[in-house]
Structure 1
Amino acid sequence: MNVMKNMEAIFLAAAFLTGVTSVASAASESARVRQEAQLSVQGQKMAVVVVTAKRLTAAEKAAL
């Protein structure tokens, strides 16, 4: 009989624990992924993008 009276408190405690554990496991997963990404980037050269294009003149800018 006491369990039925306290069912709301039991539900809230279970919901709280579920939320806390899901946040904690998500945080540890993102930390692991970040660490693996740092390890994989260190061995590679950095990508460099070179843009070769002429600049617009004042007349061309005004026409736009």
Structure 2
Amino acid sequence: MIIITRFTTGTYVARAKGLNVTASCAESARRAAERVAEKLGRNPDLLQLEDSDTSGQTFSLPETSDE
């Protein structure tokens, strides 16, 4: 899963690519991405920073199987 964050109007907004899930946080881009993971019932500790540039940050979250 890919989570993309952007800084806009004083807050970081994160969204899960391909899903209708968003979260925002004024603290940091990572924390906004963690909130998206939490909303999806996933472990936010598994987030990995993939890319960072002036437009935002991209995080990945490994797929897990419940089997």
TM-score by length of 2: 0.19
Highest CA radius of gyration, 1 or 2?
1
TM-score by length of 1: 0.19
